[in-house]
Structure 1
Amino acid sequence: MKILAIETATEACSAALLVDNEIIDRFEVAPQKHGDLILTMVDELMNEAGVKLPQLDALAFGRGPGSFTGVRMATGVIQGLAFAVDLPVAPVSTLTALAHQTIDESEGRTVYAALDARMGEVYWCEYENRDGAIKAVSDETVIAPLKIQLTQGKKAIGIGHGWETYANELTQLVKSTELLVRPAALPRAREVAQLAVGLINSGQTVSAENALPVYLRDNVAKKKAQQ
């Protein structure tokens, strides 16, 4: 299986190419430069692997939540590529891709993925490692940290820069018997590609026109779309 994936929902810009379970990728933390980087990254990966766009089985992208501009960019790039060669698209949750980075250390732990959403809120979702797969056990939401309702007393991992911005609030909230925190972690296209395999195998792909972003904070998205 050959899958091209991109993720631009935060200050990190990344692309990954999965070919028969082997992944090559590009990753750079470059705020405000995603537009300059993402297509270059895609070209580099395709050339390195000797793969042409029509040879791909599918495309995948981090569909948000995250930065409005970043999520919109990923959506636009993937739609353009998918329309060009009529490829199916696997939309992957940016929060799930982030949580998937804990796959090797999250057995028996709850994973709390939190991205700084600005305006005193985080993009938030709770996960568990079930039989070696990261599964959401709550809805994705945008919420003030102190309004989050949790089940207490579990071993846990906190991941994402929401844990840096709101360290005090979230640490007090998660009264875990053992809390590991990964505040420097950012979503990557590598995990988007890995998660896309399951979506593709289970028939959960969409056409280019139905590859849509998830913003969660609709009022901001509507205002910016009108500007």
Structure 2
Amino acid sequence: MLTSWDEQAERTVRIGMLLPWANVAVEGELPRLGLVHTVFHYTRLVPASRTTAVDAAFWHGLRSAVAGGLDALSPVPLDVVFLACTSAGFPTGLAPPALPPAVLTAFDALTGVLTHLGVRRIVLATPYPHTVTAAEAAALAAYGIETTAHTSLGLADGFPAVAAGQIRTLVQHLPPAALRTADAVVLSCTGWHTLPVLAELQQELGVPVFSSTLAMALYAARLAMGEPL
């Protein structure tokens, strides 16, 4: 799908990527997806707490740092800017700072792609704490996307260290009935390395498998086609 959309591009687009300061997965995976008509421009956001674990302080600090990231990217003519953090799109706890209208989160890309493709039932796998995963399922429901089953590693930090085998095992332990009836499998979070398992899981399960990083790439490809989501 991604290659097909990229081949239909009408122009080259430039995408700003605001990365959580400890994220090492996005920069490694996006170039390997092979988009010809998309250029990604990166900068890093350091939350005031200088922490990396997903919690209210991290989300608040990350969203507060967006203005500085936009300033760093301001010389570049960008078509869209992503805050490349999925959980920052559905933070729990106290209301976080609002994002500028021009900034989307990885969660926005995910919901945009799933909605465009008519995906209504998913199974969800994340590295997050279980409460954060449940919050994401609730946030997806607000977009008309039902999470029929979800599972998580229960981690608040250390996502880059999650091995491909752990992701495979996590998905394989989802209820078989939920996997059979799902329109798609979602591997949420930009911080873990999902690219090594996407094609393998899709072939094994017989349904599309989306990651947060893949969703941002698909969103960019639609922009290049002149058909934004």
Task: Provide the TM-score with structure 1 as the length reference.
Answer: 0.37
Structure with the larger strand share: 1
